[in-house]
Structure 1
Amino acid sequence: MRLDEITVPGTSACRTALEAATAYCSPSLLNHSVRAYLWAAAYAQARDIAFDAELLYVAAMFHDIGLVAEFDSHTVPFEEAGGHVAWVFAAGAGWPVERRRRVSEVIVRHMWDEVDVAADPEGHLLELSTALDISGRGPGDWPAELRAEVLGRYPRLEIGKEFTACMLDQGERKPDSLAGGFVRSGIAGRIAANPLER
């Protein structure tokens, strides 16, 4: 599979989600969000997993928005904050309430250890793709040529250092969150050892 074979939806909601993510995310976090969608869509297409490309794309653009200063919450975990931002965005895009709920749910679930593909294909795909991009889990599930092409087009920049700092901050301020658990289980070491960094 090549990068130009990955389905990237061109709907108004997707274009606007990318515009919003570009406005608020650092270059490293923006590239991570784009790669999260590309890894997810490529994985699905290679395995014939049916998924809603628009829903997954919008979720990918906003899945870490709760880490940026303007949307950081001191009361809820960052993935829940991101889910709320996406819900509001989806309302502005004219999505029905159930679709707004779904995009929020996919974002919250990307932090789970595992999401059932039959129950939530978009949540399953985003969980897998973000685990690859941040922790380096399962790189062999994507062809080496595709990995090189995606990383060439959307380089990692400072995502390892930036994301580690975000997780440590979230874990300290919200020790009972999933981010707090990730910190205690050694996410900083997993990020540093990510084979995508080499």
Structure 2
Amino acid sequence: MQLDDFTAPDTQAARTAFDLASSYHSPAVLNHVVRSWLWAEAFALIEDRRGVDHELLYTSAVLHDIGLVPAFDNVALSYEEAGGHVAVALTAGAGWAPERRQRALEVIVRHNWPSVDPAMDVEGYLLEVATGLDISGARSDVLPRDFVRQVLAAYPRLSLAEEFTASVTDQGRRKPTTAAQRIVRGGVAGKLARHPLEAVAGP
């Protein structure tokens, strides 16, 4: 498995999603969302997951944290739901059918679930395990080490630990009934500070 094995979909939705993320995210968070897509695709490959909608997975991965951005922060909704609605609007502009737009919302919301049944939502499952790896270090020994090094060399973690901790803590404080508060109480700050991938050097 090599980094070059994975290519972003060349579609309007995928290109626009990346452009939006690039415009609003810091370099650290932008690298995080791209790594999340790459981890998701890698898990799909090693687990032989069939029937994956790769355009949906990419678009959802790139936009999954857009609700943390002040411009898209929602006064009441959780950041993942707010981000999901951004994805709905973006994919509507790309011509997706209503049912597929709803899938983008579902995948982004479910990435913050404690777990997702792949039989129910394979894209939601893949994004959940991918972000679990990138934020909490879950299953950090599953993907091939050389591939992990290549991804981290191309998309380094930078100041993700500090930025994500600050953002999700703020979300949890203002929206205590949302997943952000559960993530904070689950010790996300410590998990990021001691993240196993922080010690992995690039090639």
TM-score, normalized by length of structure 1?
A: 0.97
Q: Is the 8 A contact 2:135 2:188 kept in 1?
A: no
- Which runs of structure 2 are paired with 1:68-107 in the superposition (5 Å)? 68-107=69-108
What is the letter of the counterpart of residue 122 of structure 1?
A: E
Pair 1:14 & 2:14 matched: yes
* Deviation, structure 1 residue 20: 1.0
* Deviation, structure 1 residue 182: 1.4
* Deviation, structure 1 residue 134: 0.8
Tell me how far apart the structure 2 counterparts of residues 195 and 101 of structure 1 sit (CA, whole Å): 34
* Deviation, structure 1 residue 7: 4.5
Pair 1:25 & 2:25 matched: yes
* Deviation, structure 1 residue 83: 0.6
Tell me how far apart the structure 2 counterparts of residues 181 and 46 of structure 1 sit (CA, whole Å): 30
Q: What is the DSSP-based 3-state SS (H/G/I as helix, E as strand, rest coil) of the residue aligned with 1:119?
A: coil
Aligned length: 198
Aligned equivalent of 2:127: 126
TM-score, normalized by length of structure 2?
A: 0.95
Q: What is the DSSP-based 3-state SS (H/G/I as helix, E as strand, rest coil) of the residue aligned with 1:139?
A: coil
* Deviation, structure 1 residue 186: 1.3
Aligned equivalent of 1:36: 36
Aligned equivalent of 1:62: 63
Aligned equivalent of 2:155: 154
What is the letter of the counterpart of residue 24 of structure 1?
A: Y
Tell me how far apart the structure 1 counterparts of residues 150 and 170 of structure 2 sit (CA, whole Å): 32
CA RMSD of aligned residues (A): 0.9
Tell me how far apart the structure 2 counterparts of residues 157 and 35 of structure 1 sit (CA, whole Å): 12
What is the letter of the counterpart of residue 38 of structure 2?
A: L
- The percent identity for this pair of structures is 53
Structure 1, unaligned runs of 5 or more? none
Q: What is the DSSP-based 3-state SS (H/G/I as helix, E as strand, rest coil) of the residue aligned with 2:184?
A: helix
* Deviation, structure 1 residue 185: 2.1
Tell me how far apart the structure 2 counterparts of residues 88 and 15 of structure 1 sit (CA, whole Å): 14
